[in-house]
């Protein structure tokens, strides 16, 4: 195995005096898609917040391309090449689609010789609906269009790793399918992805590896095939 793009080893954190994560570990290799799963309140968003530097890492280590980042501020972490699609989308409501995208655009971080950077034309090719609505304000878009915009906005930072928190939450089945198709395209293009979502069927199809949290601890980790062959794991940790 090559050096992980993102390595999280035995991290602990929480809110105030309340501990939420207990020695959580996961790795994302270059070009790999990893899901972070578990019922609501099990620590998925807290893990992402700690990666992004929004929460302090009490214990353990987070490394990006071999270098520790758990003591760095969030804006520095984002500039290293990590693109975030947060839960709730958080697009700028009073900016147009075009303005949302150019506001976050930045050159590739350490571009690869064969890589193609993300431009307006490329994100509009991935999400044609955004091209049609480029002059509309963020608050004039449907929920699905806002999620497309949130993903496109993250891509305009030219990340090496895309993190999505609840990638298709609250979307209609048709729009969910469009998002999953776009994520499949991104994976086939070689982009590394860390994703949380409640749609296990799509996660099994998209992801190479899965990490399941229960009460802030990793209780299972493995491949899609291993999870499919383990219905007891789904029943114990993922079923409502």
Tens-of-pLDDT digits for all 240 residues of the chain? 578 999 999 999 999 999 999 999 999 999 999 999 999 999 999 999 999 999 999 999 999 999 999 989 999 999 999 999 998 878 989 999 999 999 888 866 555 544 568 999 999 999 999 999 999 999 999 999 999 999 999 999 999 999 999 999 989 999 999 999 999 999 999 999 999 999 999 999 999 999 999 999 999 999 999 999 999 999 999 986
| Residue 37: CB atoms within 10 Å | 24
Sort strands 82-85 and 161-165 into parallel, antiparallel or unpaired.
parallel
Distance (Å, whole) CA 75 – CA 54: 10
For the chain, the C-alpha Rg in angstroms (whole number) is 17
Q: What is the dihedral of CA 77, 203, 170, 150, to 10 degrees?
A: 30
Contacts of 188 (CB under 8 A, 6+ apart): none
pLDDT score, position 71: 87
Residue 146 falls inside a structural domain: yes
Residue 61 falls inside a structural domain: yes
CATH value at residue 27: 3.40.50.300
pTM (two decimals) = 0.93
Residue 80 falls inside a structural domain: yes
pLDDT score, position 239: 80
Domain region containing 143: 6-237
| Residue 31: CB atoms within 10 Å | 16
Residue 232 falls inside a structural domain: yes
């Amino acid at each position: 195995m090559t050096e992980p793009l993102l390595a999280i080893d035995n991290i602990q954190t929480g809110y105030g005096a309340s501990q939420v994560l207990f020695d959580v570990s996961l790795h994302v290799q270059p070009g790999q898609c990893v899901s972070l799963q578990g019922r609501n309140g099990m620590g998925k968003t807290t893990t992402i917040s700690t990666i992004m530097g929004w929460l302090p890492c009490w214990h353990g280590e987070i490394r990006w391309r071999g270098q520790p980042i758990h003591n760095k501020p969030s804006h520095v972490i984002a500039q290293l090449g990590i693109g975030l699609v947060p839960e709730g989308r958080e697009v700028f409501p009073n900016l147009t689609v075009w303005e949302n995208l150019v506001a976050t655009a930045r050159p590739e971080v350490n571009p690869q010789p064969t890589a193609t950077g993300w431009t307006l034309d490329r994100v509009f090719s991935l999400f044609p609906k955004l091209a049609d609505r480029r002059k509309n304000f963020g608050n004039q878009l449907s929920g699905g269009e806002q999620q497309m915009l949130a993903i496109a906005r993250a891509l305009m930072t030219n990340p090496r790793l895309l993190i999505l928190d609840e990638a298709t939450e609250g979307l209609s089945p048709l729009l969910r399918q469009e998002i999953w198709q776009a994520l499949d395209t991104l994976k086939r293009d070689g982009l590394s992805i860390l994703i949380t979502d409640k749609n296990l069927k799509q996660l099994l199809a998209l992801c190479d590896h899965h990490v399941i949290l229960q009460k802030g601890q990793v209780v299972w980790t493995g491949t899609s095939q291993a999870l499919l062959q383990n219905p007891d794991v789904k029943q114990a940790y993922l079923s409502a």
